[in-house]
Structure 1
């Protein structure tokens, strides 16, 4: 694998959460490029633009906050998994509350993993390490 071309798309409506997640990912994987969206709608637009490129660089992982305005994480996940150009990309759902029913719905809709949003930077680094199998 060409680590210099590892790309993660991330959607979260909280700018601080995006910042700290990007910092953690780039601390654990210095070569990774993180493309950020502030909600599911913006993420789907970014992925649509990506998929229309003549030779798009592979996307290795999508991180989705479950609770976002406009298009929430579950709605974005459904749209991603319904698109033949995107459905192969692993998607990890992040939520402040890991409700069993919500997580079951995420898995039924194609989530690769569901994780509780971290409360400390050390826990954030654990989350970053836990996605290593997708990179």
Structure 2
């Protein structure tokens, strides 16, 4: 189910695992127009184009320097970026952190697949979340 290029939402992904980035690039490209991959907040801020910001930011919870919750807090306190939906993902995502993320303004908190073979389903599930 490929979506027409112009209809695809622009997604920016913050992930520091290159293998996962490769899998996401492969599977997310069916549903989204990938604006890029970065592995930290500073790179994110350099990559965001003010005239065409991403329509979705997907961030890993566990990252070097600022973690996903800190990135969420930065984005939600920036008046130019606070309307962008942010989905936080993690392999190990305790309920108390999911609750905290949702209270901070995350659009969703999702569990990353433990097996690479489950990435196709994971990416489709993220797409379905954004269409609700």
Asked whether the two chains share a fold, i.e. TM above 0.5, the reply is yes
Q: Structure 1: which 5+ runs fail to align? A: none
Change (3 A) 1:121 1:34: farther
Stretch deviating more after TM superposition (115-124 or 80-89): 115-124
Counterparts of 1:40 and 1:96 in 2: how far apart (Å)? 20
Q: Which secondary structure does the structure 2 equivalent of 1:63 belong to? A: strand
Contact 2:28 2:34 in 1 (8 A): no
Give the counterpart of 2:106 among 98, 108, 111. 111
Count of residues in correspondence between the two structures: 127
- Per the alignment, residue 75 of structure 2 pairs with 80
- Root-mean-square deviation over aligned CA pairs: 2.1
Q: Distance in 2 between matches of 1:100 and 1:44?
A: 29
Counterpart of 2:115 (choices 93, 116, 120) is 120
Counterpart selection for 1:7 from 5, 10, 16: 10
| Counterpart-to-counterpart distance in 2, 1:57 and 1:45 | 13
Unaligned runs of 5+ in 2: none
Which residue of 20, 25, 28 corresponds with 2:28?
25
Tell me how far apart the structure 2 counterparts of residues 78 and 72 of structure 1 sit (CA, whole Å).
10
Greater fraction of residues in helix: 1
**What's the counterpart of residue 94 of structure 2?**
99
**Do structure 1's residue 70 and structure 2's residue 70 form an aligned pair?**
no
Other-structure match for 2:43: 42
TM-score, scaled to structure 1? 0.82
Contact 1:44 1:76 in 2 (8 A): no
